[in-house]
Amino acid sequence: MKKGLLAILFIGLLFSLVACGGDENGSASEEADNTKTTAEQSNETSASDESVEVTNEVNIVATDFEFNQDKFVVQSGEEVTITLTNEEGHHGIAINELGVKIEGDGEAVIIPEDPGEYEIYCNIFCGEGHAEMVATLVVL
């Protein structure tokens, strides 16, 4: 009797684990395909970074844990308008060396004098991916 009851409990537990083991997004092969797609998109982004245009208007769009571009390029000695738009979540940006601080949707106008690369980062804690919200402002 005890062996039969244990067998039934074991089978029930096994079915529960199998039923709860999947996710809503699909199978492991679909997850592998998604990983491959993400890697391909990363390669495309890296290739497109090399062709980023020099501009006087930097439009940064913030979504959950990322900005719309990894790199923005501007010319030194020229007036630059930096605009932040939040599409998902509540974010802000800061570029410490250039005195830029925008919290929420907004803009800042600067005239960067010194060529170099400056870190743009989210300055409002937005969750576990917050530390990954970085981009680069390249001043030529």
Strands 57-63 and 80-86: parallel
pLDDT for res 56: 86
The share of the chain scoring above pLDDT 70, in percent, equals: 62
Asked if pLDDT for residue 42 goes beyond 90, the answer is no
Higher pLDDT, 125 or 41: 125
Greatest CA span in the chain, whole angstroms?
87
In tens, the pLDDT along 72-118 reads 999 999 999 999 998 888 888 999 999 999 998 999 999 999 999 99
Asked if pLDDT for residue 26 goes beyond 70, the answer is no
Asked if pLDDT for residue 10 goes beyond 90, the answer is no
pLDDT for res 107: 93
Domains, in order of start, for the chain: 54-139 (2.60.40.420)
DSSP characters over 58-105: EEEEEETTEES-SEEEE-TTS-EEEEEEESSS--EEEEGGGTEEEESS
Average pLDDT over residues 45-65: 72
Asked if pLDDT for residue 43 goes beyond 60, the answer is no
